[in-house]
Structure 1
Amino acid sequence: MPDFKSLPPIGLSLYRIVIGFLMACHGASTLTGFPVKPFSGHTISPTTWPDGIAGVLQLVFGLLVMLGLGTRISAVILSGTMAYAYFSVHQKHALLPMANGGEQAALFSWAFLLIAIVGAGPLAVDTLMKGTLRLPKPSKATAPGFE
C-alpha cells in the first residue's frame, strides 16, 4: 500500500508543473496565438513593451518552472511579472481583483511566490541533475484501514 508521506512532495511537483504549463501557454498565446487566440484577439510582437516582453518572460520562465530547471529564480521573476501586471494594469481600475479583472494576475503572482519559497519538489530537472531524488521511505506502520 502507498505511504501517504510521499504524497506532499509529489503534489508539490505536480502543482509546479501545472502552474508552469499554464503560464507558458499564456505566454505562447500572447506571442503566437497558439494554443488559443489571446484575449485581445491579436498576437503581440516580443519586442513590444510591456506586453510582448511579458509574453516572452511568461513563455520562457513558465517552461523552466514546468520542467523544474532554475525553478526558484524563474518563479521569482514570474511572481514579480504578475505583480507588476496587477499593479500597473488592473489596480488603477478598482481596488479588488474581482472588480478590476486582475484575479488571474494576482493568483499567478502568489502561486509563483509559493513555488519560489518551497522549491520544485522531487520531480524536477534540478533534482535529477543533483542526483538527490529521494522520496520518503515507506514506514512499516500503516494507518488503520490501509493495511
Structure 2
Amino acid sequence: MSPLTTFLQRSTPHVLALFRIVIGLLFACHGASSLFGVLGGAMGQGGTVPTGSWPGWYAAVIQLAGGLLVMLGLGTRAAAFISSGSMAFAYFTAHQGSALWPIQNGGEASAMYCWAFLLLFFAGPGSWALDRVFFGDRGQEATPSAQREPSAV
C-alpha cells in the first residue's frame, strides 16, 4: 500500500468530521437567521419567519436543530436524514417549478445541503462526534470492510 493511500485512509474519519462540523454549522446559522433575525435575518432582510408558519418556520427549526445535532455529532445519521429530506422538499416545492437547473431556479443551496446530508447519513459522523463519547463505537465499524481484506481479482 502506498504512503498516499495509507495517509488518505487514516485521514478520512477526521476529514469527514470536519465536513460534518462545517456543514452543520452553516445549516444551523441558516436556521438561526430565519428564526431569530441574526446574521442578516430571514431572506437577508433582517426579519424573522413568523412562528408556526408553514413551511418556513418548521424548515428553520429543522435547520437550527438538525444543524446543531450534525455539527456536534449527536444523532448524526437521524438528523442528517431529516435535514436531507427537508432540503429535498424545499428544492422541489420552492425552486424546481421555476426552472430545471438549480443555477437557474435559486435552489443551489437546497440541492447542495440535500446531498451533503445524504452523504453524512450514509457515511456517519467520522471522528470527533459526541455519539462516540456517550455511546462508544457501537454501530460504527472501526475499519471499513474494504480495508480489512483485499479483494481477490
TM value normalised by structure 1? 0.85
State whether structure 2 residue 57 is matched by structure 1 residue 36: no
Unaligned 5+ runs, structure 2: 1-5, 144-153
| Distance apart, 1:34 and its partner CA | 1.3
- Following the alignment from structure 1 to structure 2, what is the Cα–Cα distance between the partners of residues 46 and 118? 34
Unaligned 5+ runs, structure 1: 137-147
- Following the alignment from structure 2 to structure 1, what is the Cα–Cα distance between the partners of residues 69 and 51? 18
| Distance apart, 1:7 and its partner CA | 1.1
Whether the 8 Å CA contact 1:82–1:106 is kept in 2: the answer is yes
Amino acid at match of 2:34: T
Q: Specify which structure has the bigger relative contact order, considering alpha-carbon pairs within 8 angstroms and separated by 6 or more residues.
A: 1
Whether the 8 Å CA contact 1:46–1:55 is kept in 2: the answer is no
Aligned to 1:106: 111
Report the more deviating stretch, 47-56 or 34-43. 34-43
Aligned to 2:31: 27
Runs of 4+ in structure 1 displaced over 3 angstroms? 132-136
TM value normalised by structure 2? 0.82
Aligned to 2:131: 126
State whether structure 2 residue 70 is matched by structure 1 residue 65: yes
Aligned to 2:55: 50
Amino acid at match of 1:15: F
**Cα RMSD after superposing both structures:** 1.9
Count of matched residue positions in the alignment of Structure 1 and Structure 2:
134
Amino acid at match of 1:127: R
